[in-house]
Structure 1
Amino acid sequence: MRTEIDNFISYLRGVKKKSENTVISYKRDLYKMAEYFEGMDIRNFSGAVGTNVNSYILYLERKGSAPSTISRNIASMKSFFHYLNQEGKIAREPTDLIKPPKVVKQLPGILSIEEVDLLLSQPSGKSLKDHRDKAMLELLYATGMRVSELINLKVNDVNMQLGYISCHENNGERAVPFGRAAKQALTKYIYNTRSSMVKDQSIDALFVNCSGKPMSRQGFWKLIKHYGEKAGISSDITPHTLRHSFAAHLVANGADLKAVQEMMGHSDISTTQIYANLTNNKIRDVYAKAHPRG
């Protein structure tokens, strides 16, 4: 069963050009499904029927999986069984009649401008690590890029003269501008710091760890958590928090939604619309608290 899953994963990478994060999620979801099916003595996907898939979804619910997690698992299974059907491996798709649970869209958590300033001021020392961390945090907030895009940046992706970064995701590319503060931190890191951290000069990754190897996703998560705690910010901070804050602050200050969509790399503007809704909710809260008849 895992051979079919591995073939599907290769198809996602080679043909569909899915991002590595998406591929990892699909593989994890489908391996767990295969393990459950094997426990039901189903040794081949051609023997799986809708009842088996429903049984697995109920199992996920009993485990306490969130509706968003179940919805993602259903999407993974639907895509996989559709692939098997197209390849002639199964006669019909057992997920045909399966409907994902309704997922309530949560408004993203964002930081205030004051909290962002506090967070970005934490790496203030003169060490190589401080210079690198400052550049990463400033660039993330200046561009709103995804953490996967940040850690996969190459030195040549930075156009310091024109002040923009080339982001690569899903075989696509977009140019995102950055401002004065990010340019200042990047200049110090690239021209004064990076060469001292990189031991192998053939490494073209923009951001490297203390061993001179490309920075990992997990490494950056630990970094931003550390500075959040150091700043005394009580809310949970992830790399995505700065991405959300970037978009929310732009929209709150009157930025055009279409421009924000392009900078964020959203394929659908309805995703970007969330930030406008967030701003509207804040306006309503202010009105309710301040208006004499609110």
Structure 2
Amino acid sequence: MLHRYLTPEEQQRLIKAASLPADILARRDAGWLDVLLLSGLRITEFSLITVGDATNALQSKYLFIPKERRKGGKTDHRVFITAPLRAALKKLITVHCEMAGTDRPLADAPLVLSRQHCGTAMSARAFQLRFKHWVVVAGLPSDASPHWLRHSRAMNIMRNSEAADPRGIAKEALGHASIASTGVYTGVLREELEQALTQTDASTSRRVSTAALRKDFDKRS
């Protein structure tokens, strides 16, 4: 059973936790949390995205991830820009401009800026630490990591896609080299297991024997 993902309710709690504060760092974090959840990208891939990459994605409807930036470095990948993902990318560009103090950001500037060194990208470690912060605020599993958002994207597709082959859709969306890698998402869901066991232990019904029914009948006769 795959358990390293967030349920739809947990996803909402995470995004809401980061969206409530009005400070710019919280708005930045809410933006990249949304993008990761809507794209299924790995942290390393995402941390290398530039303003130019995001701008081109808004125009072409696809966010291009060259193989040089991908795990294994074997194939290029592209992410389709849905309406929610478009909104999240625009939010990040806006936050980038505010943090950089400019209306005309450089195309090769990192999309998500570090708060400590303005003009430089957030490191993978910084993403992990900020994610942990919001996990605590949202009251989510303490062992959650940014990679859970990639798994969550796949699970969302498996739950909600009306395609004939949702596993194939998840494979393409995440850029898996083999369909076998996507097979893990067809297992029992964490919430399904919890619900089934809760229902099992909450049940008070017991099998009634024919003899017991006869005895009850005789009493009432």
Is 1:165 paired with 2:55?
no
Instruction: Say if 1:186 and 1:127 are closer, same or farther in 2 by CA, change over 3 A.
Output: farther
Is the deviation greater in 270-279 or in 123-132?
A: 123-132
Aligned partner of 1:142: which letter? L
Query: SS state of the match for residue 165, structure 1?
Result: strand
Contact 2:45–2:65 at 8 Å: present in 1 too?
Answer: yes
Contact 1:248/1:278 (<8 A) preserved? no
Equivalent position of 2:92 in the other structure: 189
Q: Are 2:156 and 1:249 equivalent residues in the alignment?
A: yes
**Shift in alpha-carbon separation, 1:285–1:195, aligned structure 2, 3 A:** closer
CA-CA distance at 1:234 after TM superposition: 3.2
TM-score between the two structures when normalised by the length of structure 1: 0.56
**Distance in structure 2 (CA, Å) of the matches to 1:134 and 1:166:** 22
Match of 1:260? 170
Unaligned runs of 5+ in 2: 207-221
Question: What displacement does 1:153 show?
Answer: 1.0
2:21 pairs with 1:116: no
Summarize the Cα distance change of 1:223–1:282 in structure 2 as closer, same or farther, 3 Å threshold. closer
Q: Determine the structure 1 residue equivalent to 2:111.
A: 206
Offset of 1:206 from its aligned partner?
1.4
SS at match of 2:143: coil
Any unmatched runs of 5+ in structure 1? 1-105
CA RMSD of aligned residues (A): 2.7
| CA pair 116-236 structure 1, distance change in 2 beyond 3 A | same
- Equivalent of residue 277 in structure 1, options 179, 187, 190: 187
Higher relative contact order (CA 8 A, sep 6+): 2
Question: What is residue 240 of structure 1 aligned with on the other side?
Answer: 147
Q: Is the 8 A contact 1:107 1:278 kept in 2?
A: yes
Output the TM-score relative to the length of structure 2.
0.72
* Partner AA of 2:144 in structure 1: I
Does residue 156 in structure 1 map to residue 63 in structure 2?
no
Alpha-carbon offset, residue 276 of structure 1? 0.8
What one-letter code is carried by the residue in structure 1 that aligns with 2:86? Answer: K
Equivalent in the alignment of 1:20: none
